[in-house]
């Protein structure tokens, strides 16, 4: 009897283990199995425009905040496609409504998590999601244009910490960074954050390698760190009460000089100011190159400009290859969709064309110099992108960009009025004109300048104008 019970227990244990092994998938297995049912069903319900069913699937499973952001992004893309496809207005508005509902859910989950544990909420934003192509919640929210989510206090605090790196600065950070770049010994006098203060900020692989070889007394042990595995992503509550809070260590730590230098040059704000200063130096050299006489061989200043633009083109090619799409054509399409990438590609192609022509004899060398003079316009306009990080100039730049796009149809209507007036005016004043391209110039240019006060009075009454000139001369 007892032996039979043991055999049945062993058989049951084996059957359970076999069943468990059948439904266990390895992390690196790229199969099309139904591994995350609630995530897949949520995407299906959103694509089928079944809002109640999508809400039901959102309430089950894990990663509630990420699922809400993904649903919001899908609905917004569907609304945009519906509007561009000239579908019924109700369809686009309905999809926008569903998108706003999921966007509000994502914001509520983030706000609730932030109130319970600030550092864990920040970690949730940058946690790499294996279920969603190794993306992050913050990246998905930015790509979806979910402004209320990005402007939340939690997100802004995280972005500020990521922007500053391990530097501990409150006032005049830009002045301190520029001074430290120009005078490297002042780096040793700067304050740096402890590892506990940076626990919510994702670190690169280089950071961990540098820490392993150089050591950091402020680094907390594995027992002190809180893993995301001990956190319920749906309910926003931790599973272990004894790990309710992060260890707080406000001490700076005795960082060695080499570590301070590494942390300084690894900070994004330092990299930005390095790039800005280098770009300004490049513009000064390029300005000098186009203002002075062009010799048969490039000068030292022109060679520096050539090297800068050549390395920039290599960096742009690298950006294309590391973009997310698999096919090369899709990589190029995604990359060129960004406005500044498009202008950079035009500027680089123009410069390469001018560089090839400047080696030839006149008049081709003159054509190459003229291309240089036109190409520098694109590089000066590129300075506007640097203002995007400024909290005062950035919003103005965004508003100007949106107003420029909205002004397109107004410009078209104004052009129609100018052309109609220009054709009638030219036909009445010059009834004996012969066919020529100057007619097209006059019907466009003259009405345009008349808006600014130029009335071309001499052409209206040429005889009276000549008599007046004679009287004045006499």
Structure confidence at residue 30 (pLDDT): 45
Structure confidence at residue 463 (pLDDT): 55
Structure confidence at residue 453 (pLDDT): 82
Distances (CA, A) of 43 to 213, 228, 334, 405: 45, 24, 23, 33
Pairing of strands 231-232, 237-238: antiparallel
SS3 422: helix
Structure confidence at residue 397 (pLDDT): 85
How many residues are recorded in the chain?
Answer: 474
Phi/psi for 237 (5° steps) reads: -125, 145
Structure confidence at residue 466 (pLDDT): 53
pLDDT tens for each residue of 387-440: 887 778 888 888 888 888 888 888 899 899 999 999 998 898 888 888 888 888
Among 320, 281, 330, smallest CA distance to 304 is for: 281
Structure confidence at residue 13 (pLDDT): 56
Among 72, 74, 40, smallest CA distance to 57 is for: 40
Structure confidence at residue 251 (pLDDT): 45
Structure confidence at residue 452 (pLDDT): 84
Within the chain, which residues score under 70 in pLDDT?
1-34, 87-89, 200, 203-254, 459-474
SS3 192: strand
- Work out the mean pLDDT of the chain and round it to a whole number: 79
Q: Which residues of 245-267 are buried (b: 16+ CB within 10 A; e: fewer)?
A: ebeebeeeeebeeebbebbbebb
Residue with tokens 């107004």: 410
Phi/psi for 192 (5° steps) reads: -125, 150
Structure confidence at residue 244 (pLDDT): 41
Rounded to whole angstroms, how far apart are CA atoms 287 and 300? 13
Report whether 199 contacts 225 (CB < 8 A): yes
Query: What pairs with residue 167 in β-bridges?
Result: 192
- CA torsion sign for 291, 293, 298, 301 is negative
């Amino acid at each position: 009897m007892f032996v039979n019970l043991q055999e049945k227990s062993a058989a049951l244990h084996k059957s359970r283990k076999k069943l468990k092994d059948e439904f266990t998938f390895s992390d690196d297995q790229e199969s099309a199995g139904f591994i995350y049912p609630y995530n897949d069903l949520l995407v299906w319900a959103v694509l089928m425009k079944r809002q109640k069913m999508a809400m039901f699937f959102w309430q089950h499973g894990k990663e509630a905040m990420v699922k809400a952001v993904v649903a919001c992004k899908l609905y917004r893309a569907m609304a945009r496609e519906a509007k561009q496809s000239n579908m019924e207005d109700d369809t686009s508005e309905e999809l926008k409504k569903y998108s706003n509902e999921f966007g509000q859910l994502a914001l509520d989950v983030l706000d609730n998590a932030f109130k319970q544990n600030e550092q864990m909420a920040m970690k949730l934003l940058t946690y790499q999601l294996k279920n969603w192509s190794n993306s992050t919640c913050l990246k998905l929210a930015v790509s979806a244009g979910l402004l209320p989510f990005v402007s939340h206090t939690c997100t802004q605090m995280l972005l500020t910490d990521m922007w500053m790196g391990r530097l501990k600065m409150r006032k005049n950070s830009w002045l301190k960074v520029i001074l430290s770049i120009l005078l490297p010994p002042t780096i040793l006098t700067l304050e740096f954050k402890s590892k506990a203060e940076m626990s919510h900020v994702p670190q690169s692989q280089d950071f961990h390698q540098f820490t392993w070889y150089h050591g950091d007394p402020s680094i907390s042990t594995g027992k002190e760190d809180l893993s995301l595995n001990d956190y319920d992503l749906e309910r926003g509550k931790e599973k272990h009460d004894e790990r309710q809070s992060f260890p707080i260590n406000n001490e700076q730590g005795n960082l060695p000089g080499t570590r301070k230098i590494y942390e300084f040059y690894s900070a994004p704000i330092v990299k930005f100011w390095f790039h800005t200063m280098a770009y300004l130096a490049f513009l000064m050299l390029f300005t000098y190159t186009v203002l002075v006489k062009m010799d048969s061989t490039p000068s030292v200043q022109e060679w520096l400009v050539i090297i800068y633009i050549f390395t920039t083109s290599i960096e742009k090619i690298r950006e294309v290859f590391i973009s997310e799409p698999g096919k090369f054509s899709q990589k190029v399409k995604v990359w060129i969709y960004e406005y500044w990438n498009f202008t950079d590609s035009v500027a680089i192609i123009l410069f390469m064309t001018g560089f090839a022509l400047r080696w030839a004899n006149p008049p081709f060398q003159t054509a190459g110099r003229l291309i240089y003079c036109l190409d520098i316009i694109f590089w000066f306009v590129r300075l506007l992108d640097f203002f995007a990080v400024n909290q005062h100039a950035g919003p103005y730049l965004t508003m100007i960009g949106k107003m420029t796009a909205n002004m397109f149809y107004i410009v078209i209507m104004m052009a129609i009025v100018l052309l109609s007036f220009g054709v009638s005016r030219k036909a009445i004043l010059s009834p004996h004109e012969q066919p020529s391209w100057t007619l097209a110039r006059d019907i466009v240019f003259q009405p345009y300048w008349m808006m600014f006060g130029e009335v071309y009075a001499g052409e209206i009454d040429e005889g009276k104008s000549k008599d007046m000139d004679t009287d004045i001369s006499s």
